[in-house]
C-alpha cells in the first residue's frame, strides 16, 4: 500500500502549548511531500464552544489553522464544504484532529468521507491524525479511550494499517483505584479479538509511516500487546515495521 501517515498519540503534553511537541514532525512530514494546503477534519471536536457543535468546529478550525499557518501551510475545514466527498477527492493532504472518536467516526461515515479518505490514502496522499485522528486509521475504533457519546453506524474505520492503536496509553494505576488498568482493558479486547495487535502509543510519541516502513518517534517507548503473550517494549527510534505485516 502506498500510504504516507503521521499518527500522533496526543496533541499537547502537560504544561505545553497546543500542538507544540509534534509541530516539528508535522512540518517535516508535510514538507517532504511538497504539501501547501491541508483539508482539516474537525468532527471529533464537539465541546469547544458551548453554543453548538458547529461553532465548536469553527473554534477548532481557527485553533489549528493558526498553528499550521505558522508552519507555512494553508488550512481549510471540511465542515464548510457543501460536498465533503468532493473536498476530500480534491485535497492534497488530510489532517484529522483529536477529540471524541465516536463522533468523529459517526460524521465521517454519514458524510461518506471514511471511504473517500481511504481511497486517497491508498494512492499516497499525506495523512496526519492525532489522538482520535490516529484511531480512525486503524481497522476499527474499538481501542479508543473515549466515551460513546453517540452511536456510529459501524465501528469500522479507515483500515489503512492492520493493527490497532491505543492513544494516550498509560501504565499507571492510581492509588486507591480498584478498576481495571489500561493494560487489563486491552487484554480484554484481545481475549475477543485474538488475531489483533495493539500498539499502546504513549503521549509524546508518534508513528511515521511510509509504505511498509514504520518508525516510532518521540520521547517514550511503545508497548505492544498480542493475545497470549507478554507485552513488549520498543524504544523511540525503533523500526517497528513488523506491525504492518
| Active-site residue, 171 included | no
Of 49, 168, 221, 238, which is the active-site residue?
168
* Pair 41, 27: CB distance under 8 Å: no
| Active-site residue, 238 included | no
| Active-site residue, 103 included | no
Of 56, 77, 93, 131, which is the active-site residue?
131
Q: Show the 3-state SS of the chain.
A: CCCEEEEECCCCCCCCCCCCCCHHHHHHHHHHCCCCEEEEECCCCCCCCCCCHHHHHHHHHHHHHHHHHHHCCEEEEHHHCCCHHHHHHHCCCEEECCCCHHHHHHHHHHCCHHHHHHHHHHCCCEEEEECHHHHCCCCECCCCCCCCCCCCCCCECCCCCCCEEEECCCCCCCCCCCCCCHHHHHHHHHHHCCCCEEEEECCCEEEEEECCEEEEEECCCEEEEECCCCCEEECCCCECHHHHC
Of 9, 58, 77, 146, which is the active-site residue?
146
CA–CA dist 236, 206 (Å, integer): 9
Active centre residues (catalytic): 131, 146, 168
Amino acid at each position: 500500500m502506498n500510504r504516507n501517515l503521521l499518527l500522533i498519540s496526543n496533541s499537547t503534553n502537560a504544561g505545553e502549548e497546543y500542538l507544540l511537541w509534534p509541530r516539528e514532525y508535522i512540518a517535516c512530514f508535510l514538507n517532504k511531500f511538497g504539501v501547501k494546503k491541508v483539508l482539516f477534519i474537525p468532527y471529533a471536536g464537539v465541546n469547544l464552544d458551548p453554543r453548538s457543535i458547529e461553532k465548536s468546529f469553527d473554534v477548532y478550525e481557527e485553533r489549528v489553522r493558526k498553528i499550521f499557518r505558522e508552519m507555512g501551510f494553508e488550512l481549510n475545514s471540511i465542515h464548510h464544504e457543501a460536498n465533503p466527498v468532493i473536498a476530500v477527492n480534491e485535497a492534497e493532504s488530510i489532517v484529522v484532529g483529536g477529540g471524541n472518536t465516536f463522533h468523529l467516526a459517526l460524521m465521517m461515515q454519514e458524510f461518506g468521507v471514511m471511504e473517500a479518505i481511504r481511497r486517497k490514502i491508498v494512492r499516497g496522499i499525506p495523512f496526519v491524525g492525532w489522538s482520535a485522528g490516529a484511531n480512525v486509521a486503524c481497522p476499527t475504533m474499538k481501542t479508543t479511550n473515549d466515551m460513546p457519546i453517540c452511536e456510529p453506524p459501524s465501528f469500522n474505520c479507515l483500515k489503512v494499517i492492520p493493527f490497532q492503536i491505543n492513544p494516550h496509553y498509560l501504565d499507571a494505576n492510581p492509588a486507591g483505584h480498584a478498576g481495571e488498568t489500561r493494560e487489563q482493558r486491552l487484554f480484554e479486547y484481545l481475549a475477543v479479538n485474538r488475531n489483533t495487535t495493539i500498539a499502546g502509543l504513549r503521549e509524546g510519541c508518534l508513528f511515521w509511516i511510509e509504505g511498509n516502513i514504520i518508525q516510532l518517534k518521540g520521547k517514550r517507548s511503545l508497548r505492544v500487546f498480542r493475545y497470549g503473550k507478554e507485552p513488549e517494549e520498543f524504544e523511540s527510534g525503533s523500526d517497528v515495521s513488523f506491525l504492518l505485516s
